[in-house]
Amino acid sequence: MKQFLVVLFGAGFAMGQGRGPAQGPCDRACLEGFINQYLEAMVAHDAKRLPVTPDVRFTENDIELKLGEGLWKTASGLGAYKLYLADPAQGQVAFYGTIRENTRPTSIVLRLKVDNRRISEAESIVIRGAGTANNMEKAGSPDPILMETVPPAERLPRTELVAKSNLYFEAIEQGNGQVAPFDPNCERFENGTKTTPKEGCSAQLDTKVFDYIQKIAPRRFLVVDEERQVVFGFFMFNHPGDITWVNSPGQGRHEMPASAKRPFNVDVAEAFRIKNGMIRKVEALMTSLPYGVTSPFVPQREP
């Protein structure tokens, strides 16, 4: 008993010491600094240089790995595209960027949770295949609408930002664009390519061509950048594969693509820019996964 207390005391002391020079909240610059440190450590193949909590958790494409595994062994250089989203209130930060994997252009989405200036969670999606990374780098820089500071008077509180973003998934599940508050100029990019028609985000959903997406769950809203009015999270798109066609209003029978006629999941990292209370921009990076895969950050099924 005595020993136990001593150990606890010692740990508290050590933690206090470690925290000493890093008191105060981790602001935007601090959070972005963690992303940069992480990427640099990864390219150096040296996870040990990162400040992490003892129970740090790391996932790549929804598989739990040890820091140092996966892309940590193959990353060979930094890329040119960098979009940071910061949530100082929650100590979380998200990043969309390009990197090099064994010299090949590759894209990464990275979410870090920072507790007392140490990384406690690192969640990543790696998009291999140069197409996405090339699209992103060709764009030059992220859409300014995702990076502009919104005057405080025009900002919505975080709960409302999340609620409005959530309606996007309701609209997809229901095949009804009216369900979500879409800005008339709303556009969506997926893996660096614009995937909304000139008719806009709302009208596209009304066609029901996305009805093969039967369930979007879990929906994890993890980073709310209040200053920029952007919500970021990971959203699991479940495709059972048994809706093979749909009656599209005004269009008639629409055959689903062959790729949608089989069970599969897609983990989508999605950023929503909410402007004037409406969804103005959706920026998504995603990867396909075996059907039924869930993020290790959500409770798992009992074996």
Partner 1 sequence: MRLPILLLLSGALLAQAPADCNRACLEGFVNQYVDALVAHNPFGMPLARKVKFSENDVLLDLGDGVWNTITGAGTYKLYVADPQSGQVGLIGTMRENSTPIVIAARLRIENRKITEIETVINRAAAAASSLEQLGKPDAAFTESVPAAQRVSRDALIASANKYFDAIEKGSADPAAFDKDCNRTENGAQMTNSPSRAAPANLSWNPWALGCAEQINTKIFSSYQRIYPRRFPVVDEERQLVFGFFMYQQPGDVLSVESPGHGTYKFPDSATTPGFTESAQLFRIKAGKIGKIESLTLGIPYGMPNPFFKDDWRRP
Residues that bind partner 1 in the complex, under the rule CB under 8 A: 60-65, 69-71, 73-74, 101-102, 104, 128, 240-242, 244, 258, 261-263, 289-293, 301, 303
- Report the nearest approach of partner 1 to the CB of residue 247 (Å): 18
Which of 105, 181 has the CB closer to partner 1? 105
- Report the nearest approach of partner 1 to the CB of residue 126 (Å): 8
Which of 12, 292 has the CB closer to partner 1? 292
- Report the nearest approach of partner 1 to the CB of residue 235 (Å): 18
- Report the nearest approach of partner 1 to the CB of residue 69 (Å): 7
The residues near 115 (Cβ < 8 Å, ≥ 6 apart) are 53, 91
3-class secondary structure per residue, the chain: CHHHHHHHHHHHHHHHHHHHHHCCCCCHHHHHHHHHHHHHHHHCCCHHHCCEEEEEEEEECCEEECECECHHHHEEEEEEEEEEEEECCCCEEEEEEEEEECCEEEEEEEEEEEECCEEEEEEEEEECCHHHHHHHHHHCCCCHHHCCCCCHHHCCCHHHHHHHHHHHHHHHHHCCHHHCCEEEEEEEEECCEECCCCCCHHHHHHCCCCCCCCEEEEEEEEEEECCCCEEEEEEEEEECCCCCEEEECCCEEEECCHHHCCCEEEEEEEEEEEECCEEEEEEEEEEEECCCCCCCCCCCCCC
Which of 73, 138 has the CB closer to partner 1? 73
- Report the nearest approach of partner 1 to the CB of residue 35 (Å): 21
- Report the nearest approach of partner 1 to the CB of residue 240 (Å): 5
